[in-house]
Chain A
Amino acid sequence: MREPPVLAVEGLDKSFGAVRALHGVSLQLHAGEAHALAGENGAGKSTLIKTLAGVHRPDAGTVLIDGEPVTLHGPADARDAGIAVIYQEPTLFPDLSVAENIFMGRQPRRSLGRIDHKAVKAAAAALFARLGVDLDPEQPARGLSIADQQIVEIAKALSFDARVLIMDEPTAALTGSEVARLFAVVRTLREQGSAILFISHRLEEIFGLCQRVTTLRDGALIASEPVEGLTEDDLVRRMVGRDLDELYPKQATDIGAVALSVRRLTREGVFTDVSFDVRRGEIVGLAGLVGAGRSEVARAVFGIDRRDAGTVEVDGRALVNGAPSAAMAAGLALVPEDRRAQGLVMGMSIERNIGLTGLRTTARAGLMDRRAERSRSLDWAVKLQVKYARIADAVGTLSGGNQQKVVLAKWLATGPRVLIVDEPTRGIDVGTKAEVHRLLSGLAADGVAVLMISSDLPEILGMADRVLVMHEGRLTAEIPRTEATEESVMAAATGRAA
């Protein structure tokens, strides 16, 4: 007989108004286990996490710690019960040291209430040693990478004697080597008897790290089972509820004339001497490590940043430097990397967000034509199957995948001849991801020239006709589809091939 699970939930129900976010969800989390929570956007993962973190009170059902029912009245209760949540983007005090951040508000004291800085530092160092990481406790939090900030948050959780660590998409903003280090820390914690609930959209991470996986769909429990013996297809089927069409539905297209031509593009200190063409009907992948300068090239091509040297031509017409509106008029569209900061105005409606790229084209006699704006927005929201209650709802109320579809709608509505997409499927679920891929493939088939920046190698390999690779601000390789493999792309991305 196993010990009772460290954390268990039974028959959890939670509704928001008429929407049942969770119904009858049960889950058991054992000591020494990394347990994946899988599901598409909107499946109820966040609601479950927030319930466990004491943020939401369940309508029905029980939470058990070590087999004992508990009621979590708030985040402090959850913490005292040994549950800690590590969020995707940690919130540390930037001007305090790492050690001070860990012990904020409960520093060891000396006489007269003075903070015992030595003890703070030693305790932090001990925590890092336990995690097997090399971090200086005295370093200020400002300037730490997101990966290091997450480690600090984990150390903080341990300092509270957390036995259950909930990690909400911790790898979304990390590079490959940072992910590997985080996983090493998670394995150490697991061996020390912690239970980890791990959320990720990346299937390979679930298979690489976790022993069990619980899948939610539409707020209901679909399965809770060992990872061993499961295939990626099995898991996707549980998440999506049907057999997924191919994830990379690349169509063969007629590749036509050059639509986007970039020559010797340079931005001082960012990227140098970048030249490439994208032809009609072609999807060109732009791969490279985070920080290689891929997004910066896209920004300079579109005119968000000024270029210091070089030319950009769309259909043979040179683009003015630093003028996105001119780029748009020439038929260029850029779906930016960060949909929250760059792609959308969160408080604005879906309708008006899509409308932002058509302010001039839908206006009549200098005035907004609201009906034209609405029909244009509705048209594209429907074409891209955005799921929303009302087109006038704030775009911030949508799930991540639907937000991304709104950004795509906003740009496709301009009828681009050249489409640049920067990380088009980051942080969105696998079903939506397949839809986005099908869409890109369809656009290429219709003669649009597509430049796709992605850190997701299978996506690049699955979708691109040709792969460009950047390393430290330079193009280091151009690989045709037939020769592109993970090895050949990574070699160029890390500078080994050059």
Chain B
Amino acid sequence: MADLPLARAVRWDTVVGALLMVLLLASFSFVDGFGNALNLSFLLGNTLPIALIALPMTLLVVAGEIDLSVASTAGLSGAVMGSLWNAGMAIETIIPLCLVLGVLCGLVNGLLVTRLGLPSLAVTIGTMAAYRGIAQIILGSDAVTDFPSQYLDFAAGRIGDTFLPYTFLPFLALLAIAVVILHATPFGRSLFAIGANEEAARFAGIRVRRHKLWLFVATGLMASLTGVFWALHYASARYDNATGLELSVVAAVLLGGIDFDGGRGTLGGAIAGVFLLGALQNAMSLLNVSAQSQIVVTGVLLVVSVLGPRVARQIGTARAGRQVTTPSH
């Protein structure tokens, strides 16, 4: 059914992509200051942390799991980065250490889920609190701001006179890698099978637990990378960096049409969801929409994001059904 033009036309990721285009066009036309290079670079810079974590999160949700500890992992890497810097270690040593730490955080989540068979929602709510707590123990209420200027410039600067942050190019590379992994490798195809029917995947010889473990590790790695980026981008390493970011990531991924039950979605949709949310918040700020109202709008979008794909799928099925219904036996 998915191959019918009518059904394809109402695919939710296409809808989100179209919404993003409409929003961008409207903002360029009607929102003062939206189109200037500085604002656009702010938009991209502020959205990048969400986008970075959304990459592995999309894979995780497709496989039927979730990781809510990502923002805490990011905060923890920032805190470790700050305290090691205070201790006088070289930044070139600190950053790899932070990434190793992220791998460990992801490994803990992954082992708890795959070895003990615990639900990832519960496990990562637990580690969300634990990792954040450790971050506070390590750094207290200090803010470390005096990172080397060439690093700060790289994380916050943009390429020449364009609106593109330097960091956008590495992000595009990571995006390309994630797209290939999810949509063009046996590993990615297995994730869809695992998310849709884990038992059938197991019967097909797919190593379900190993796949999931890799996803949690990759998510931890990307979360710590985001933590490093965050501390440099905002020139501030604090234990509470990136607090609440996990909800923005999950919201954006769901908005992008990744089925919360697993087995469905595209990375293109998820990334469109990320930038739709980011652009919307940016435009609303420029229009002086109050913070409270912005929260309401985001909340409504979240509900729509859960409903939308289901409605779109039903319309698709109904239309396809009128064309080629296979009568049930």
Among listed B77-85, B131-139, B198-206, B279-287, interface-contacting one: B198-206
Instruction: Please tell me if the beta carbons of B199 and A342 are within 8 angstroms of each other in the complex.
Output: yes
Judged by a CB distance under 8 angstroms, whether A394 is at the interface is: yes
Judged by a CB distance under 8 angstroms, whether B184 is at the interface is: yes
Judged by a CB distance under 8 angstroms, whether A105 is at the interface is: no
Judged by a CB distance under 8 angstroms, whether B327 is at the interface is: yes
Instruction: Please tell me if the beta carbons of A46 and B205 are within 8 angstroms of each other in the complex.
Output: no
How far is the CB of B194 from the nearest CB of chain A, in Å?
9
Query: How far is B263's CA from A344's CA once the two chains are assembled, in angstroms?
Result: 13
Among listed B29-37, B41-49, B117-125, B185-193, interface-contacting one: B185-193
Judged by a CB distance under 8 angstroms, whether A389 is at the interface is: yes
Instruction: Please tell me if the beta carbons of B329 and A356 are within 8 angstroms of each other in the complex.
Output: no
> From A14, which residue of chain B is reached at the shortest CB distance?
B327
How far is the CB of A421 from the nearest CB of chain B, in Å?
13
**Contacts A349-B2, A363-B185 given: A304-B327 contact, CB under 8 Å?**
no
How far is the CB of A166 from the nearest CB of chain B, in Å?
15
How far is the CB of B5 from the nearest CB of chain A, in Å?
13
Q: Mark B235-272, 1 if CB is under 8 A from A, else 0.
A: 00000000000000000000000000001100000000
Judged by a CB distance under 8 angstroms, whether A347 is at the interface is: yes
Query: How far is B329's CA from A429's CA once the two chains are assembled, in angstroms?
Result: 10
Contacts of B96 in A (CB 8 A): none
**Contacts A345-B197, A345-B200 given: A43-B185 contact, CB under 8 Å?**
no
How far is the CB of B151 from the nearest CB of chain A, in Å?
34
Instruction: Please tell me if the beta carbons of B197 and A341 are within 8 angstroms of each other in the complex.
Output: yes
Instruction: For A400, give its contact among B3, B263, B329 (CB under 8 Å).
Output: B329
Query: How far is B283's CA from A37's CA once the two chains are assembled, in angstroms?
Result: 63
How far is the CB of B265 from the nearest CB of chain A, in Å?
12
Query: How far is B2's CA from A41's CA once the two chains are assembled, in angstroms?
Result: 24
Instruction: For A324, give its contact among B192, B202, B323, B327 (CB under 8 Å).
Output: B202
Contacts of B264 in A (CB 8 A): 347
Contacts of A342 in B (CB 8 A): 199-200, 203
Judged by a CB distance under 8 angstroms, whether A42 is at the interface is: yes
> From A46, which residue of chain B is reached at the shortest CB distance?
B328
Instruction: For A397, give its contact among B1, B188, B204 (CB under 8 Å).
Output: B1
Query: How far is B326's CA from A349's CA once the two chains are assembled, in angstroms?
Result: 14
> From B207, which residue of chain A is reached at the shortest CB distance?
A325
> From A401, which residue of chain B is reached at the shortest CB distance?
B329
Contacts of A357 in B (CB 8 A): 204-205
Instruction: Please tell me if the beta carbons of A17 and B324 are within 8 angstroms of each other in the complex.
Output: yes
Query: How far is B320's CA from A390's CA once the two chains are assembled, in angstroms?
Result: 13
**A-B pairs under 8 A by CB, number:** 117
Instruction: For B196, give its contact among A336, A347, A359, A393 (CB under 8 Å).
Output: A347
Judged by a CB distance under 8 angstroms, whether B322 is at the interface is: yes
Query: How far is B326's CA from A41's CA once the two chains are assembled, in angstroms?
Result: 11
How far is the CB of B134 from the nearest CB of chain A, in Å?
35
**Contacts A341-B199, A349-B2, A367-B180 given: A18-B327 contact, CB under 8 Å?**
no
**Contacts A41-B329, A342-B203 given: A17-B321 contact, CB under 8 Å?**
yes
Q: Mark A14-52, 1 if CB is under 8 A from B, else 0.
A: 001111010000000000000000001111111100000
Instruction: Please tell me if the beta carbons of A344 and B323 are within 8 angstroms of each other in the complex.
Output: no
Contacts of B141 in A (CB 8 A): none
> From A429, which residue of chain B is reached at the shortest CB distance?
B329
Contacts of B193 in A (CB 8 A): 345, 348, 356
Instruction: Please tell me if the beta carbons of B200 and A343 are within 8 angstroms of each other in the complex.
Output: yes
Instruction: For B322, give its contact among A17, A328, A346, A366 (CB under 8 Å).
Output: A17
Contacts of B201 in A (CB 8 A): 345, 356
Residue in A46, A219, A327, A342 with the greatest tally of chain B CB atoms within 10 Å: A342
Judged by a CB distance under 8 angstroms, whether A470 is at the interface is: no
Judged by a CB distance under 8 angstroms, whether B314 is at the interface is: no
Instruction: Please tell me if the beta carbons of B329 and A45 are within 8 angstroms of each other in the complex.
Output: yes
Judged by a CB distance under 8 angstroms, whether A398 is at the interface is: yes
Contacts of B322 in A (CB 8 A): 16-17
Judged by a CB distance under 8 angstroms, whether A417 is at the interface is: no
How far is the CB of A268 from the nearest CB of chain B, in Å?
19
Contacts of B184 in A (CB 8 A): 367-368
> From A40, which residue of chain B is reached at the shortest CB distance?
B329
Judged by a CB distance under 8 angstroms, whether A355 is at the interface is: yes
Judged by a CB distance under 8 angstroms, whether B325 is at the interface is: yes
**Contacts A341-B199, A345-B197 given: A390-B186 contact, CB under 8 Å?**
no
**Contacts A342-B200, A346-B197, A367-B180 given: A16-B327 contact, CB under 8 Å?**
yes
Instruction: Please tell me if the beta carbons of A304 and B203 are within 8 angstroms of each other in the complex.
Output: yes
Residue in A18, A40, A360, A393 with the greatest tally of chain B CB atoms within 10 Å: A393
Instruction: Please tell me if the beta carbons of A367 and B185 are within 8 angstroms of each other in the complex.
Output: yes
Contacts of B326 in A (CB 8 A): 19, 389, 393, 397-399
Instruction: Please tell me if the beta carbons of B328 and A47 are within 8 angstroms of each other in the complex.
Output: yes
Query: How far is B328's CA from A401's CA once the two chains are assembled, in angstroms?
Result: 11
Instruction: Please tell me if the beta carbons of A17 and B1 are within 8 angstroms of each other in the complex.
Output: no
Contacts of B321 in A (CB 8 A): 16-17
Judged by a CB distance under 8 angstroms, whether A180 is at the interface is: no
Query: How far is B322's CA from A389's CA once the two chains are assembled, in angstroms?
Result: 14
Query: How far is B328's CA from A177's CA once the two chains are assembled, in angstroms?
Result: 30
Judged by a CB distance under 8 angstroms, whether A119 is at the interface is: no
Residue in B186, B199, B323, B327 with the greatest tally of chain A CB atoms within 10 Å: B327
Judged by a CB distance under 8 angstroms, whether A352 is at the interface is: yes
Query: How far is B188's CA from A355's CA once the two chains are assembled, in angstroms?
Result: 13
Contacts of A397 in B (CB 8 A): 1, 326
Contacts of B196 in A (CB 8 A): 345-348
Instruction: Please tell me if the beta carbons of B186 and A359 are within 8 angstroms of each other in the complex.
Output: yes
Instruction: Please tell me if the beta carbons of B202 and A46 are within 8 angstroms of each other in the complex.
Output: no
Contacts of B2 in A (CB 8 A): 349, 392, 394
How far is the CB of A45 from the nearest CB of chain B, in Å?
7
Instruction: Please tell me if the beta carbons of B189 and A355 are within 8 angstroms of each other in the complex.
Output: yes
Query: How far is B204's CA from A300's CA once the two chains are assembled, in angstroms?
Result: 14
**Chain A residues engaging chain B, CB cutoff 8 angstroms:** 16-19, 21, 40-47, 219, 304, 324-325, 327-328, 334, 336, 341-349, 352, 355-357, 359-360, 363, 366-368, 389-390, 392-394, 397-401, 410, 429
In addition to A17-B321, A324-B203, 17 A-B residue pairs with Cβ atoms within 8 Å of each other are A17-B324, A43-B329, A304-B202, A325-B206, A334-B203, A342-B199, A342-B200, A348-B192, A356-B193, A356-B201, A357-B204, A359-B186, A367-B180, A368-B188, A393-B3, A394-B1, A429-B329
**Chain B residues engaging chain A, CB cutoff 8 angstroms:** 1-3, 180, 184-186, 188-190, 192-193, 196-197, 199-207, 263-264, 321-329
User: 17 A-B Cβ contacts within 8 A?
Assistant: A16-B327, A17-B322, A19-B324, A19-B327, A334-B203, A341-B199, A344-B200, A348-B196, A367-B184, A368-B186, A389-B326, A392-B3, A393-B1, A394-B2, A398-B326, A399-B326, A401-B329
